[in-house]
A and B are shown apart, each in its own frame.
Chain A
Amino acid sequence: MKRKRHVILYTIAVLIVLLANFPIIFIVFTSFKPLVDIMQPSLNLSFTPTLDNYKALFSESFDFGKYIVNSIVIATLSTVIGVSVSIPAVYGISRFGEMKKGVAFWILSIRMVPPIVFALPLFLILRLVGLIDSSLGLILVYLTTTVPLSVWVLNTFLSEIPKSLEESAMLDGASRSRILLRIILPLIKPGIVAVFILNFIFSWNEFFFALLMTQDKAVTFTVGMARFVTGYSIYWGSIAAAATISMVPMLIMTILVQKYLVRGLTFGAVK
């Protein structure tokens, strides 16, 4: 009786997994299909797998390699800078009660603002200072998200460390900076790794700002892919290959941070 119920539950769960991930499975399969089979107006499940789509992607006509390199550079640097300024900030906020509320609330409220609110002024400012279509410009723009995200997620890790640890170090004459470097930092290591990955995924997946702020040199893979599908002829095979390449590292990272995903995605509102 109970066994039968379990079999039903697992069957439903597996079917929903397949349905929920269908778009991902579909595009991975498509990336190995010859173009004629992709554009076939009928349900055909049999095809001879090919790597041609991947080969074409890195040929001159697509330039996908350049886009991927841009994405890696921009995502890495905006993450490193964002996390580096956030670590001391979160220490300051969590250990010094009186300013906690004001600064912390201000930083959280930034998350509430739709990015389009910052898009226009940031575009105009970058244009004024000549940083449109530069990696540096986009890295600065991404700090609007990576800093608040890092502060809030790290805050949840820091608040779990007992203050008595620090107090005894202070009695031994250690300075605040020393405490941060020698005691706090090693203790919140998992938090730093989690925040690093979450920020990287955000910057990697971002499209809207990149669309506005780049034209040619600094184009990231999302903007590059959008161009692939708005041209006259759409090479679905190579687009599917590009989607697969861009997706797989993120899926692996997701599995690595799944434990901290909830607090990352809700800015620490839910642990």
Chain B
Amino acid sequence: MAKRDNGWRFVIPAVVVLAAVVAFPFGFSLYISFTESTAYSIYNGRFLLLDNYLGLFKDIKFWDSLRVSSLYVALAVGIEMVGGFFLALLVDSLPKFKKLFMVLFILPMMVAPLVYGIIFKLMYNSIYGFIPVFFRDVFGIEITPLNKPFAALFSMVVVDAFQWTSFVFLVFFSALQALPREPLEASLIDGAGYWKSVWYVTLPLLRPVTAVILIFRIMDSFKVFDQIFVITGGGPGAATTTMSLYTYFLMFTRYNFGKAAALTIIILITVTLITRFAFNALYKEVSYQ
């Protein structure tokens, strides 16, 4: 009767579920990454030790996909962080209807990324797509968003930015709402000017939240798949084949499960290292919370 109720029984269902759908598969994948697992010997491939990993390091396509992913993440996250921040400042400075504008700005991120991909696939079409037609008829410039390697990658970044700037905006905006107003007002009264005050007062106060946003955006843009899969399928050539797409091709067009598993482990390590680095660089010097 007086048995100490330590609450474990409440957690058990969730732990069992996660063990089954997360921990066990992860362990299984780790095992496969060390074996020669293909369509013919999925579960009992020859044990290879590190050959899958070493094979990847010698694989030009792997390095290409790493380069594509890194460029994509850097461009997309850069544009979204800057755009989302200024948007948050704008909406925050509106005297009325802040909430209404907030809701209007967050709509894009709630649409399925695949649907956004399909919308842009239509808008990018080189014959009747809205964007080439608009640039031709209004500015007299001929553009083909998906034909050249860098243009195609940048077009993918544009899709990402259209959808996820709203996330950066939302988190910055709610952080701004929660900030104490006095420091900024004091600075403005001292005659510092709006932009100077933002730079010296608001930005330092937003540092912790900036770290959080940055990490979420890096993590999420690294795993991009849906839009690219449906718009370019990784092309032209391998210009938009990110690490996620390359893994997909290894799995389902080449059935090289061992190598694909090794690649997912490398992706996991890469993302963890980058987010750790970003977090440490931004978070440590902040004493304000």
Binding site for B on A (CB under 8 A): 6, 9-10, 12-13, 16-17, 20-21, 23-24, 26-27, 30, 38-43, 81, 84-86, 88-89, 91-93, 95-96, 98-99, 103, 106-107, 110, 112-125, 127-128, 140-141, 143-144, 147-148, 151, 176, 180, 201, 204-208, 211-212, 222, 225-226, 229-230, 236, 239-240, 243, 246-247, 250-251, 253-255, 258, 261-262, 265-266, 269-271
Contacts and interface: CB of A to CB of B under 8 A. Distances in A.
Interface string B225-251: 110011000000000000010011001
Contacts of A140: 20-21
Contacts of B7: 91-92, 95-96, 99, 176
Given A6-B95, A88-B11, A117 B26 contact: yes
B144 to A, nearest CB: 13
Nearest to B227: A207
Interface in B44-68: none
Interface in B105-146: 105-108, 110-116, 118-123, 127-128, 130, 133-134, 137-138
Nearest to B267: A114
Contact of B26 (A118, A205, A255): A118
Contacts of A269: 212, 216
A121 B108 contact: no
B189 interface: no
A198 to B, nearest CB: 10
B101 A13 contact: yes
Contacts of A255: 103
A265 B170 contact: yes
B107 to A, nearest CB: 6
A120 B14 contact: no
Contact of A124 (B17, B42, B99): B42
Contacts of A141: 21
Interface of B: 5-11, 13-15, 17-18, 20-22, 24-26, 28-29, 32, 42-43, 87, 90-91, 93-95, 99, 101-108, 110-116, 118-123, 127-128, 130, 133-134, 137-138, 162, 165-167, 170-171, 174-175, 178, 209, 212-213, 216, 219, 222-223, 225-226, 229-230, 244, 247-248, 251-252, 257, 260-261, 264-265, 267-268, 271-272, 275
Contacts, number: 261
Contact of B230 (A23, A113, A119, A229): A229
B102 A20 contact: no
Which has the most chain B C-beta neighbours within 10 Å: A13, A24, A30, A148? A13
A64 to B, nearest CB: 13
Contacts of B267: 114, 116-117
A204 B167 CA distance: 18
A94 B102 CA distance: 32
A258 B6 contact: no
B173 to A, nearest CB: 9
Contact of A107 (B13, B18, B134, B222): B18
Contacts of B25: 118, 121-122, 125
Contacts of A113: 26, 268
Nearest to B244: A116
